[in-house]
Structure 1
């Protein structure tokens, strides 16, 4: 995902940067800074056993991480009370096996991709957030999750990191220093253009963002969670993406204004419900 790939640009990955030749010049200074990264960490020596080591992207001023999928995974970990630690030492940031965040280390296993990690930890800890759903309900939840992760996600990224990137950096939402803004914008623009979202006009992106948030309001209705009274993995994913649209996107974005002006009250209550229950430290996470 895009936010996960920003970490590749701004932390260390000369091969990937070479592939994106248009941004090499703007980001070359980053390569030296992160050229001495330690790999092949040993469980029990470099990190403790029986504890998930979570590697995030970086905190923003108004939320615990600027990666949608870090928030997704961390909400899952908190729901199941799985013991974990976040490795937030930026200077020692280590790219994972899939060259994106989040990634984890657990008892000698190193794994990337939030969904694959969830499925792995389900087996390791014998847990399943979706055990209350029927086969058909699981399929429907998956369809909703993919809509949010594969479409609304990109609208969120295009809004915060291209259209309103000046405000994202100015307001302290970005974890990256100001001198990296130009490089980040070029990289994001290239990715969103390839995906297709970046080919739309600013006005079209605004309309799509507002329309999809209103559709999500319709999906929720008066339910506590997407599939009813119990939370599932789809809610972790939805919270990861839509919390960014509310709390980690500049207020000038039309999508953000829907929250501020009370036009999607069920979504507001939904986000508040998950944040209050699983993120009491949202303003200053305790790691």
Structure 2
């Protein structure tokens, strides 16, 4: 990778994936769709980003956060456009799919990862690889309280565990029905919506989290095949799933 290559700052690898962050994974897929060279930089402190969230990029003198704003910049910067061949109906459906995944299902996943006790236990095992035990003992509860407050403000953590489970399973059912026996969600070739779906579903399926929604997602063969297909296509360097 050359010194002038775009730098992508994202969470460290986990679950056999190049990054634990679903939005970082989405952005990497889009960069590979656009054939834009980049260097992945591990940055587990998202507060260092320009919008205090992960991922973000540095491209020359430009620092930019938020995947949609980053992709808009990249299309203008490199003259390559995602989803160029979609018709208006496909674009509309792709937009709806992305928003459901990013604005609703992502909250469910974060709840299972960071609020549920079994999910938090798995998260602590991941964090322990990068954070010394004493520091994790101090920082861990602070991180967890921050996410619990964040999810309460966004809305999902205002519900009971049973209500969140029902909402998450409804999302999974909708995704499985939408995909059906097709390879991709919107068109014959992958789109930005597929990159978004791969980012969220890969961490859901591959994390092994014991929460009811993640477990339910793994029971949907077409969604598991979608994850396997997407990772094999865009990250051929990853070991094949047994």
Q: 1:175/1:223 Cα in 2 relative to 1: closer, same or farther (>3 Å)?
A: farther
- Structure 2 CA distance, aligned partners of 1:75 and 1:274? 9
- Structure 2 CA distance, aligned partners of 1:216 and 1:198? 22
Instruction: Work out which of the residue numbers 250, 253, 275 in structure 1 matches 2:211.
Output: 253
Instruction: Work out which of the residue numbers 192, 196, 209 in structure 1 matches 2:151.
Output: 192
Aligned to 2:3: 48
Map of 1:136-285 to 2, 5 A cutoff? 136-163=89-116, 164-169=118-123, 171-172=125-126, 177=131, 178-179=136-137, 180-248=139-207, 250=209, 252-260=210-218, 263-282=219-238
Q: 2:180 touches 2:222 (CA, 8 Å); kept in 1?
A: yes
Quick check: 1:60 aligned with 2:14? yes
Instruction: Work out which of the residue numbers 101, 107, 132 in structure 1 matches 2:54.
Output: 101
Larger radius of gyration: 1
Aligned to 1:33: none
> How many Å apart are 1:173 and its aligned residue?
7.0
TM superposition score normalised by structure 1: 0.74
> What is the RMSD of the two structures over their aligned residues, measured on CA atoms?
2.3
Q: 1:210/1:90 Cα in 2 relative to 1: closer, same or farther (>3 Å)?
A: closer
Question: Is the partner of 1:132 in helix, strand or coil?
Answer: coil
> How many Å apart are 1:64 and its aligned residue?
2.1
> How many Å apart are 1:111 and its aligned residue?
1.0
Q: 1:145 touches 1:238 (CA, 8 Å); kept in 2?
A: yes
Map of 1:117-132 to 2, 5 A cutoff? 117-132=70-85
Q: 1:236/1:175 Cα in 2 relative to 1: closer, same or farther (>3 Å)?
A: farther
Per-residue CA shift, 1:118-141, capped at 9, x if unaligned? 111112222222111012321221
Instruction: Work out which of the residue numbers 6, 10, 34 in structure 2 matches 1:80.
Output: 34
> How many Å apart are 1:75 and its aligned residue?
0.9
Displaced runs of 4 or more, over 4 A: 173-176
Q: Which runs of 5+ in 2 are unaligned?
A: none
Q: 1:174/1:280 Cα in 2 relative to 1: closer, same or farther (>3 Å)?
A: farther
Q: 1:60 touches 1:173 (CA, 8 Å); kept in 2?
A: no
Per-residue CA shift, 1:42-98, capped at 9, x if unaligned? xxxxx822x11111122224422222110110111122221100122669x882221
TM superposition score normalised by structure 2: 0.87
Q: 1:61/1:232 Cα in 2 relative to 1: closer, same or farther (>3 Å)?
A: closer
Aligned to 1:133: 86
Q: 1:58 touches 1:175 (CA, 8 Å); kept in 2?
A: no
Question: Is the partner of 1:82 in helix, strand or coil?
Answer: coil
- Structure 2 CA distance, aligned partners of 1:175 and 1:59? 11
Question: Is the partner of 1:172 in helix, strand or coil?
Answer: helix
- Structure 1 CA distance, aligned partners of 2:124 and 2:38? 32
Aligned length: 233
